[in-house]
């Protein structure tokens, strides 16, 4: 594994961790006052109608994290040995994994850009959401 691919997988892991944390905040802990305030919702009365949207958005973040995990798993488990057919199967599986991982990370970046453009006060959150997948994409496409 090259240094670029290792960097890409580490950055993808950070992106997965961030999106899992966002899932927990949006889908599990949204009704807690401190968490509501993170999303700009001040009162409990305002959070009730937003709960469905927050839960759904959290599940999207969980789905993105799972897509990236599947891509990383395909890369990391690609057969590279000298067994019959492994010379072809390993690179093909790794290429599929890179494609899956880059697709998931691309959606993460798109969501981060949308957040930065539509809610400028949340640009630090957009950086947390978007920088690791950008690094992962760049590093993995340099293979």
pLDDT average, residue stretch 36-50: 84
Tell me the mean pLDDT in the region 110-139. Answer: 95
DSSP code per residue over 53-122 = HHHHHHHHHHHHHHHHHHHHHHHHT---SSSTTHHHHHHHHHHHHHHHHHHHHHHHHHHHHHHHHH-GGG
Q: What is the mean pLDDT of the chain?
A: 89
- pTM, 2 dp: 0.87
pLDDT interval class at 40 (50, 70, 90): confident
Q: In angstroms, rounded to a whole number, what is the distance separating the alpha carbons of residues 118 and 106?
A: 18
Could you tell me the pLDDT band of residue 84, with boundaries at 50, 70 and 90? very low
Percent of the residues in the chain that have a pLDDT greater than 70, as a whole number: 92
pLDDT of 83 reads 46
The domain tally of the chain equals 1
The whole-number average pLDDT for the span 79-99 is 72
Stretch among 1-10, 50-59, 75-84, 103-112 having the lowest mean pLDDT: 75-84
Q: Which domain holds residue 97?
A: 3-141
- The answer to whether 90 and 80 are in contact (CB under 8 A) is yes
Give the pLDDT band of residue 102 (cuts 50, 70, 90).
very high
């Amino acid at each position: 594994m090259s240094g670029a691919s290792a960097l890409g997988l580490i950055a993808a892991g950070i992106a997965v961790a961030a999106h899992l944390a966002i899932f927990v905040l949006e889908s599990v802990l949204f009704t807690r006052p401190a968490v509501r305030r993170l999303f700009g919702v001040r009162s409990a009365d305002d959070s009730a109608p937003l709960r469905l949207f927050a839960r759904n958005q959290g599940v999207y973040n969980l789905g993105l994290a799972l897509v990236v995990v599947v891509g990383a798993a395909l890369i990391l488990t690609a057969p590279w040995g000298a067994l019959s057919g492994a010379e072809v199967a390993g690179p093909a599986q790794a290429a599929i994994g890179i494609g899956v991982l880059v697709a998931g990370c691309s959606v993460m970046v798109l969501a981060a850009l949308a957040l930065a453009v539509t809610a400028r006060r949340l640009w630090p959150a957009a950086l947390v959401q978007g920088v690791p997948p950008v690094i992962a994409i760049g590093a993995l496409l340099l293979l």
